Structure 1
Amino acid sequence: MTVRVLFLSEGSSDQGLVAHVEGIAADQGVPVTVSAPDLRWLRSAVGHSVPDKLRTARELGGVYDLAVVQRDADNGPPQTRRTEIAEAVREVWPRLAHVPVVPVRMLEAWLLLDEQAIREVAGNPRGRVPLDLPKATAVERIADPKQRLKETLAKASGCKGRRLAELQQRFPRNRHRLLDLLDRNGPVSAVPSWQTFVSDLTSALRRG
């Protein structure tokens, strides 16, 4: 049976996680179809809260077996976000199974570990400047992973002046590319929040 998945991300740039949801399902031999509606394009404004997004997705119609809902932990404990997501599903769509995706502190932490991917996205794949990347076991303790990723891309690029400014303007695109390149079996596989995501999704898919 094909599992029908609704994917709701915190932001549009996080929708690259869809490919990883599909990849994890393929690893388990579970066929899935994933719908990831971009709610920004609706004429009526959609709130940023999880209940707002769930409510809007439900109003759009569609039949789903599982919701995968991504929300960064930010400065709070991951369990706070997991509880927030569970309560939102219970309120808005009570019979829908769900999997929370809660990067600590931000999804950018998952993108800070693959040196070669960072060098390629920075446009300098043969660069040799040390990047001082964090270890997988420590990356979740970085206070601002997004800023650290911006700085790391800049260092890897070797750019200065106007070229560096142009690189910084492309950060959303480069972040998306890094998410596309994320190796599920690479360094990120040792990050606790990624392990939890994979474990939760695998269990939900096996339940069907």
Structure 2
Amino acid sequence: MTTRVLFIGEGSSDNGLVRHVESIAARKGVDASITVPDFGLLPLPTGHCVRDKLQAARKLHGTYDLVVVQRDADRGPVQDRRDEIAQAVSAEWPGLHHVAVVPVRMLEAWLLLDEACLRQVAENPRGRVSLDLPRGAAVERVADPKQLLKDSLARASEYKGRRLSQFQKRFSQHRLRMLELLDPAGPVACLPSWQNFIKDLDEAFEVVRR
């Protein structure tokens, strides 16, 4: 039996999480079919909030067993985002199981922990320039992880001038690639927000396949 999963992120570069959802499903012996709507292309009046995206997805008449929703905590409490997602699913798609994926502050915090991956995506894997990246839980106290990731990729690339400018324009692609390559058993595994993502998805697959 195939478990039908709907994935909703904040933007298209969050879709790198889908690989990790697939990996967890495979580890549990779950045959998962994952749908990732491109809300930017849908001819529907959608906003940025979870409820709008759920409404748009439901109008496409897809049938799902589980929805995985990624939403950054930004500067608020993680539980507020988890509650927001639960309430949106309950209101827009009653009865649908859900998993809330809530990185502290921003998803970029997860990516800052993997220096080897960052250097690889920066197209300079053997670079030695110091990046001075945060370690462990300190990454979740960085005020603007997204900007720090942008700056760190640029520094790691060691590009200059026009080449650096062209490289920086591809930040969304770099972010997506880093998320796809992120080692789930690497440094990110020390963060409770990542641990909760894995645990919640494990439990959800157990429930929906019964």
Q: What's the TM-score bracket when you normalise by the shorter of the two chains?
A: over 0.9
Distance in 1, Cα, partners of 2:3 & 2:136: 31
Partner of 1:33: 33
**Post-superposition CA distance 1:152-186 (Å, at most 9, x none):** 11111112222222221111111111111111111
Is 1:206 equivalent to 2:206 in the alignment? yes
Deviates more, 1:161-170 or 1:150-159: 161-170
- SS of the aligned residue for 2:176 comes to helix
Determine the structure 1 residue equivalent to 2:136: 136
What amino acid is aligned across from residue 149 of structure 2 in structure 1? L
Pairing 1:65–2:28 present:
no
Count the aligned residue pairs.
Answer: 208
In 2, Cα distance between equivalents of 1:24 and 1:44: 32
Aligned counterparts of 2:27 and 2:142: Cα–Cα separation in 1: 30
Instruction: Write out per-residue CA displacement over residues 99-138 of structure 1, whole angstroms, 9 at most, x where no aligned residue.
Output: 0011111111111111111111111111111221211221
Cα drift, residue 48 of structure 1: 1.1
Cα separation, 2, equivalents of 1:93 and 1:45: 18
Letter in 1 for 2:7: F
Percent of aligned pairs with the same amino acid: 62
1:153 paired with 2:153, answer yes
Bigger Cα displacement from structure 2, 154-163 vs 100-109 = 154-163
Summarize the alignment of residues 39-50 of structure 1 with structure 2, pairs less than 5 Å apart: 39-50=39-50
User: Hey, what's the Cα distance between the residues in 1 that align with 2:2 and 2:183?
Assistant: 25
Determine if the alignment matches structure 1 residue 55 to structure 2 residue 55: yes
C-alpha displacement of 1:44: 2.7
- Equivalence for 2:83: 83
CA contact (8 A) 2:44 2:56 kept: no
Structure 2, unpaired ranges of 5+ = none
Does the CA-based 8 Å contact 2:7-2:67 persist in structure 1?
Answer: yes
Give 1:87 shift: 0.5
TM-score by length of 2: 0.95
Displacement of 1:201 in angstroms is 0.6
Structure 1 runs of 4+ off > 2 angstroms?
A: none
TM-score under structure 1 length normalisation: 0.96
Aligned-residue Cα RMSD (Å) equals: 1.1
Q: What CA distance in whole angstroms lies between the structure 1 residues aligned with 2:136 and 2:64? A: 34
* Aligned equivalents of 2:159, 2:110: Cα separation in 1: 24
